[in-house]
Amino acid sequence: MRAVQTSDSTPPTDPALERLLALLSAWAQAGSWQQLVLSQPRAAPPAPRRVQVRPLVLRAVPCLSFVYSHPTRDETHNLPLQAGLDQVAELLHGSFRHAHLFGRDGEAQLRLSKKGSGHFRLRKTAAGASGPDVEPDVETGDPPDVEPGASPAHPVPTHDRQKKRRLTLDRPFLSHLGITNAQQQLVPAMARKWKQINKFIEVFDHALQRSPLADSKTLRVVDFGAGKAYLSFALHDWLSHGLQLDAQVTGVELRPDLVQQGQHIAAELGLQGMRLRQGDVRTEAEQTQVEPMDVMIALHACDTATDHAIHLGLRAGAQIIMCSPCCHKELRPQLLSPQPLRSIFQHGIHAEQQAEMLTDSLRALLLQAQGYDTQVFEFVSLEHTRKNKMILAIKRAQPLPAEPALAQVQELKRFFGLRTQCLEMLLAAG
């Protein structure tokens, strides 16, 4: 660790300083302190202006994390607990004249004069409420690390903020799908899939609470392009086990081997209301009669297949429509690049992004005209998949007038020289 520049003369030990160090050590052993801030440096730059210290646990070892704040950068160093306490003592003896200690039982301040004499003040507070429940690390399935001797009501924080998941790794379907092993631990290769599933459930949960379905006891969900049915099984488990609803979840997949695999898992687990069937969204959209549904999901439907899925959801009376489009090919050959945009969209990647942005904006406007609140947003990080955009549509109790949204559709078509857009054509024909 880079040594901190200190002044040439070290002030003598002061009783007030020793009181603060003793209190810090006691609170650290009890797991009841939260943060220490050191300020008023004795030395001029490049010495740090401020140091923040907080407790954490790294690989089951209690540590202290030091953040050294310089004028143009911050440096972070982690030390084992005792070495960290020694470092705090060294900084106070030679580098800083003010310390502010925050704990669950109160706070303390130390002020040292230039000559080394100190003033210590302790302000205690009434005992607070118990801390949050201790949850296992959702990425590993292991229990959180707590410093020995710490009160369960005041766990020492780990290096990473604990994530709240709506699904837990002990659910049986996860091991059948290969996301966890026989010991109900996350398979490392499935970590990204696990994050994507939980993120989708989080988005769906918020959408459900905002929708007319919020108080429903039964939900009919159809997931088109289910693939290996990770999402279908996760939704069924969360709705039926987590929310205690009568969940009727159908995963629709074109590949028969994946359908059979999903059917076998559903039968082996005895899941009521969970089914897989072979089908394609385009074929189903062409049928005269469609299956009623409350929620329509279509992730990674290629090009205009997303438009057919949205149209199918509208015909089926879906209150929530969730799409993650890909392969925005339909509009790109039609696009004009009006001045002064021509120099921007002459580059292929910009033209691709333009087609993607315009296609999904038109879809959102058309859904708005059909009485939905619509959002287009990043669903998961690009580090997990390029197909990371989601169109979310939630049926409004009181639809807005359709004309303004439809007028914007026509304005965009004129500006970019568009002749046809699949969803608009399907709605006109329907």
Going by pLDDT thresholds of 50, 70 and 90, the confidence category of residue 141 is very low
3-state helix, strand, coil in the chain (%, to 5): 35, 25, 40
Which ranges of 286-347 does DSSP label H, i.e. alpha helix? 305-315, 342-345
pLDDT at 294 over 90: yes
Q: What is the mean pLDDT of the chain?
A: 83
Q: What is the pLDDT of residues 345-373, one digit of tens each?
A: 778 788 788 888 899 999 999 999 999 99
**Structure confidence at residue 423 (pLDDT):** 94
Q: What percent of the chain has pLDDT over 70?
A: 86
**Structure confidence at residue 125 (pLDDT):** 66
* Residue 357 CB coordination number (10 Å): 13
**Structure confidence at residue 189 (pLDDT):** 86
Q: Which residue has the higher pLDDT, 301 or 263?
A: 263
pLDDT at 45 over 90: no
CA distances from 281 to 204, 214, 227, 284, 429 (A): 21, 27, 13, 5, 18
CATH number of 172-429: 3.40.50.150
State the Cα–Cα distance between residues 143 and 57, nearest whole angstrom.
Answer: 12
Residue type (1 letter), 238: W
Which ranges of 211-293 does DSSP label H, i.e. alpha helix? 230-237, 256-269, 281-285
DSSP per-residue string spanning 111-180: EE-TTS-EEEEEEE-------PPP---TTT-PPPP--TT--TTSPPPBSSPPPP-SS-TT-HHHHHTTSB
Mean pLDDT throughout 376-382? 72
- The structure tokens 């499935």 sit at 190
The maximal CA–CA distance of the chain, rounded, in angstroms, is 90
Which ranges of 31-96 does DSSP label H, i.e. alpha helix? 81-94
Q: Which two tokens stand for residue 408?
A: 């914007």
State the Cα–Cα distance between residues 65 and 328, nearest whole angstrom.
Answer: 47
Q: Residue 227: helix, strand or coil by DSSP?
A: coil
State the Cα–Cα distance between residues 138 and 140, nearest whole angstrom.
Answer: 6
Mean pLDDT throughout 24-39? 86
State the Cα–Cα distance between residues 394 and 367, nearest whole angstrom.
Answer: 9
Q: Which residue has the higher pLDDT, 404 or 147?
A: 404
CATH 3.40.50.150 in the chain: give the residue spans.
Answer: 172-429
Going by pLDDT thresholds of 50, 70 and 90, the confidence category of residue 409 is very high
Q: Which residue has the higher pLDDT, 283 or 339?
A: 283
pLDDT at 384 over 80: no
With a threshold of 0.75, does the pTM exceed it? Answer: no
